[in-house]
Amino acid sequence: MGRLKYSIIPEKEKSSRAMGTEHHISPKHSLEICRTIKGMRAETAREFLEDVIALKKPVPFKRHNKKIPHRRGLVGWDAGRYPQKAAKAVLSVLINATSNAEYKGLDPAEMKITHVSTKQGRTLKGWMPRAMGRATPKDTETVSIELILTEVS
């Protein structure tokens, strides 16, 4: 795998960034989570992701919402889910970005998520054995997540 680069380059003095590579999560779930938390403050996004993991708040599915049931507690949208595995991966990247901000001497309470995106990682090839000596391909998709926090004054 080649080295991944960030999509944008922020100001170094006022921002911190983090990237998680090749997480074994759903690309659709990670896209919806990233769309939801973009623009939130770091503490608010952390609380939201912890509530998603605890099945308290649903993530609105705006793009990949075919045959997705309605969930209580969504404002401005009906369809939603609780993608726990993807929320844990995004939460780990967010925690890493806030600790990078602390290391640089920035205040994590004043940080806002200005950029968050997902990229397709490599596909891990696999096989599922079937009857009569046959096999079916069973591939695992991976996702890379990049997150940039910027200080709001």
Domain ranges of the chain: 27-151
What span, in angstroms and rounded, lies between the C-alpha atoms of 79 and 119?
24
* Chain mean pLDDT for the chain: 94
Structure tokens at 31: 């896209």
Parallel, antiparallel, or unpaired for β 127-129 and 135-137?
antiparallel
Give me the residue label for tokens 């938390």: 37
Note the Cα 35 to chain centre separation in Å. 9
What pLDDT digit, counting tens, does each position of 40-89 carry?
A: 999 999 999 999 999 999 999 999 889 999 998 888 889 999 999 999 99
The answer to whether residues 83 and 33 touch, using CB atoms and an 8 Å cutoff, is: yes
Looking at this protein, which amino acid is placed at residue 64? H
Q: Report, at the CATH architecture level, how domain 27-151 is classified.
A: Alpha-Beta Complex (3.90)
The pLDDT score that the predictor gives to residue 2 is 66
